[in-house]
Amino acid sequence: MATYILKRFLQLIPVFLGATLLVYFLVFSLPGDPIAALFGDKPVNEAVAAKLRAQYNLDQPFIIQYLLYLKSIFTFDLGQDFSGRPIAAVLGEVFPVTARLAVMALIFEAVFGIAFGLIAGLRKGKFFDGTVLIASLIVIGIPIFVLGFILQFFIGVQLGWAKPTVSAAATVQDLILPAIVLGLASFAYVLRLTRTSVIENMNADYVRTATAKGLSRFRVVNVHILRNSLIPVVTFLGADLGTLMGGAIVTEGIFNVPGVGNRLYRAVLSGEGPTVVSIVTVLVLIYCLSNLLVDLLYAWLDPRIRYDS
């Protein structure tokens, strides 16, 4: 098991190098000169621009810029963004907010998705099942920004149950509505995945055996059906954590959440290479780690799976 985990960690190294190189190159190839853009409509002051280019290594060829950036990572100094602030500090501000949002969304989709999916699966073909299926189809079909605006307008503005945007502290309470919006689409997937899986397992031999040997309905459902049905769901949820962290740009925009998505969007627009790469790299690492966690969870959920070398 330990060897397996070590192996997986070693795999992170090429992923990390590849991701940073690729993203740095993409930002580098964005059209337009980021320093000239700082001047807006006004004429570019060449002396000032040259000084700034040198400060951000933008006067160097691509590969040198990239190597300098790598060097800055290994010295734990990620450089500065265009407003002269350390990028490490920027990461420290935005990631906790988005992590809170993503985890809340994940909890929402896991709890409600699995519960609704389980009930729908157990009552296959009944009224509840039909209603939930149609509702989830609608949720999957409507783009997230439409849902976001609708919920913001009705719940935030018309009914006044929640603030339409989050406050400066971005507290858990503020983030409830954004988390629901962020998690809605995945909620529908989790629901459908659980339902299908439950229906499949209900007809499995071991469930029939369990019922036949007189186990309570509660025990059959919880231990034999649900636990076995969770394997595909857990895979989905694990992969989804990374998606939620990185894919929160739209939701963060709608609810003005001061998180990763907002900062990333601004950094891309202004062509701040090191800021973009630093944020994306952390996102990639989170994605990889959550996948590792999922693989380890498999072993716990399904004892038939072993990670021996």
Partner 1 sequence: MRFSRTSKALGVAAIIALAATGCGGGSSNDSGSSAGDPNKVIIADGSEPQRPLMPADINEVGGGKIATLIFSGLVSYDPSGKPVNELAESIEAPDAQNFTIKIKKDQKFTNGEAITAKTFVDSWNYGAAAKNANLSATFFESIKGYDETSAEGSTVETMSGLKVVDDSTFTVELKQPESDWPLRLGYTAFMPVPSAALADPKTYGEKPVGNGPYKMAENGWQHNVQIQLVPNADYNGPRKAKNGGVTFKIFQNDDAAYQDLLSNNLDILQVIPTSALKNFKSDLGDRFIEKPYAGNQTIAIPEYLPEWSGEAGKLRRQAISMAINREEITKVIFSGGRQPAKDFTAPVLDGYSDSIPGSDNLNFDATKAKDLWAKADAIQKWDPNTAFTIAYNADKGGHKAWVEALTNQLKNNLGIKAEGLPFATFKEARDLATTAKLTGAIRAGWQADYPSLYNFLGPIYKTGAGSNDARYENPAFDKAISDGLSAPSVAEGNKAMNKAQEILLQDLPAIPLWYQVSQGGWSTGVTNVDYGWDGVPLYYNITGK
Question: Which residues here bind partner 1, judged by CB under 8 A?
Answer: 30-34, 36-48, 50-52, 55, 82-85, 90, 93-94, 149, 152-153, 156-157, 160, 163-165, 168, 252-256, 258, 262-263, 265-266, 269-271
CB-wise, 125 or 160, nearer to partner 1?
160
Distance in Å, CB of 239 to partner 1, minimum: 27
d(CA 179, CA 176): 5
Distance in Å, CB of 268 to partner 1, minimum: 9
CB-wise, 202 or 260, nearer to partner 1?
260
Distance in Å, CB of 38 to partner 1, minimum: 6
Distance in Å, CB of 187 to partner 1, minimum: 23
CB-wise, 39 or 300, nearer to partner 1?
39
CB-wise, 54 or 223, nearer to partner 1?
54
CB-wise, 1 or 269, nearer to partner 1?
269
- Give, as one character, the DSSP assignment of residue 80: B
CB 104 within 8 A of CB 251: no
Conformation bin of residue 43: beta by default, left when phi > 0, alpha when psi is -120 to 50: beta
d(CA 103, CA 178): 12
CB-wise, 119 or 282, nearer to partner 1?
282
- Give long-range contacts, CB 8 A cutoff, 24+ apart: 147-156: 147/181, 147/184, 148/178, 148/181, 148/250, 148/251, 148/254, 148/255, 149/254, 151/177, 151/180, 151/181, 152/177, 152/181, 152/254, 152/255
Burial class (CB in 10 A: 0-12, 13-18, 19+), 125: exposed
Pick from 281, 294, 278: which is nearest to 8 by CA? 294
CB-wise, 232 or 258, nearer to partner 1?
258
Distance in Å, CB of 35 to partner 1, minimum: 9
Beta bridge partners of 86: 80
Distance in Å, CB of 176 to partner 1, minimum: 16
Exposure of 264 in the CB half-sphere (CA atoms within 13 A): 24
CB-wise, 27 or 241, nearer to partner 1?
27
SS (H, E, C) 228-254: HHHHHHHHHHHHHHHHHHHCCHHHHHH
Distance in Å, CB of 73 to partner 1, minimum: 22
Distance in Å, CB of 67 to partner 1, minimum: 24
214: which 2 tokens? 């007189």
